[in-house]
Amino acid sequence: MDDTRERILFSAMKLFAEKGYLSTSVADILKGAGAHSGSLYHFFPTKQDVLVAVLGLYRDGIEPMLLAPAWDGVSDPIERVFALLAAYRRMLAGTDCLYGCPIGSLALELHEPDPPVRELLAVNFSGWVAHVQACLDQARERLPAGTDRRSLATFVLTVMEGGVMQSRTHRTLEAFDAGVSRLRDYFMRLEQAAQLERE
């Protein structure tokens, strides 16, 4: 079959998200893919190259797999930011707070990742932040003058990842919801301040 490479890739993606990179053995990946070790090593020089390919899938999937469904029917740029956070909340809620953001998990699991891996983790974060910043840029006039929108977009990712981490640990949505509520409050105050500026 021609799709062996893809079956291996998606099996690895699933397992890395569920059990992490180190706890997933090559044998696990092969079992999930219905393939044999020779096939995996035909397509990928090492296990780490499988990870690199998986991180590439995430990078390329941000728009079509994550943002498109999350933003379906949501046009307001600031609401889109919170719709994205709501998508992560659904992921947490749908897995009893077991799985949140696979990139964040891998980023902290791999303490000193080889350059290509760290690069791809960083690219995934940057891509996410860039899309959020595009929303903020669109809502530029609703934010106080001089707002550092790149910094604010980074902050949104910070709140998401920090919330996911705590919610996974406590197995409760409380920390994630607290983060989103506080971010809501912050945005509300920013919009209020911008409103006052305009008067």
Partner DNA sequence: GGAGCACTTGATCGATCAATCAAGTAATGC
Partner DNA sequence: GCATTACTTGATTGATCGATCAAGTGCTCC
The packing angle between helices 4-19 and 26-33, to 10°, is 130
For the bound state, the minimum distance from the C-beta of residue 27 to DNA, rounded and expressed in Å, comes to 5
Tokens of 158: 């910070």
The residue ranges that bind a copy of itself (CB under 8 A) are: 18-20, 22-23, 98, 104-105, 107-109, 111-112, 118, 121-122, 125, 148, 150-152, 154-155, 157-163, 165-166, 168-171, 174-175, 178-179, 181-182, 185-186, 189-190, 193
Q: Does 99 bind DNA (CB under 7 A)?
A: no
Is residue 41 at the binding interface for DNA, with CB under 7 A as the rule? Answer: yes
CB of 53 to a copy of itself, least distance (A): 19
- Dihedral Cα 161, 163, 166, 171, nearest 10 deg: -110
Which candidate, 50, 84, 41, 46, places its Cα nearest to that of 65?
84
Shortest Cβ 49–DNA spacing (Å): 8
Distances (CA, A) of 82 to 76, 79, 85, 165: 10, 5, 5, 18
72 binds DNA (CB under 7 A): no
Spatial separation of the C-alpha atoms in residues 44 and 22, rounded to whole Å = 17
Count of residues near DNA by CB under 7 A: 20
- Residues of the shown chain interacting with DNA in the complex, contacts defined by CB under 7 A: 1-2, 4, 24-28, 35-39, 41-43, 45-48
